Amino acid sequence: ELKVEQNPLFLSMQEGKNYTIYCNYSTTSDRLYWYRQDPGKSLESLFVLLSNGAVKQEGRLMASLDTKARLSTLHITAAVHDLSATYFCAPGGFGNEKLTFGTGTRLTIIP
């Protein structure tokens, strides 16, 4: 059974700082997804990483995937308040196979 571990679970950081969220998973997976969830809202897709070494960037967020290490990272650069949310990683199989979500990282950006 695939296990997904995110850390930290809670992260409080000041505006303007950089930080990284880590996502480790236990069995081989050829792709990984990052989602954002605001309180009381649904999940918004951020990144789809499809191969080993994949790196994607959108604004102040950058995600990478190392399938050999079974590790994905979500790096935040110069954080702003709008990035406050819970971030989930979810390794998945080919096509529409089951996504297994991590427990999430609750990120709070402090002015």
Size of the site for another protein (CB under 8 A): 21
- 99 lies in the site for another protein, by CB under 8 A: yes
The whole-angstrom separation of Cα 92 and Cα 110 is 33
Q: Considering only residues 64, 76, 88, 91, which one is a binding residue for another protein as defined by CB under 8 A?
A: 88
The whole-angstrom separation of Cα 45 and Cα 5 is 19
Residues making up the chain, counted from first to last: 111
The whole-angstrom separation of Cα 64 and Cα 92 is 15
- 51 lies in the site for another protein, by CB under 8 A: no
Q: How far is the CB of 100 from another protein (least distance, A)?
A: 8
- 55 lies in the site for another protein, by CB under 8 A: no
- 42 lies in the site for another protein, by CB under 8 A: yes
Q: How far is the CB of 71 from another protein (least distance, A)?
A: 17
State the sign of the Cα–Cα–Cα–Cα dihedral 76, 80, 83, 84. Answer: positive
- 98 lies in the site for another protein, by CB under 8 A: yes
- 63 lies in the site for another protein, by CB under 8 A: no
- 104 lies in the site for another protein, by CB under 8 A: yes
The whole-angstrom separation of Cα 108 and Cα 47 is 20
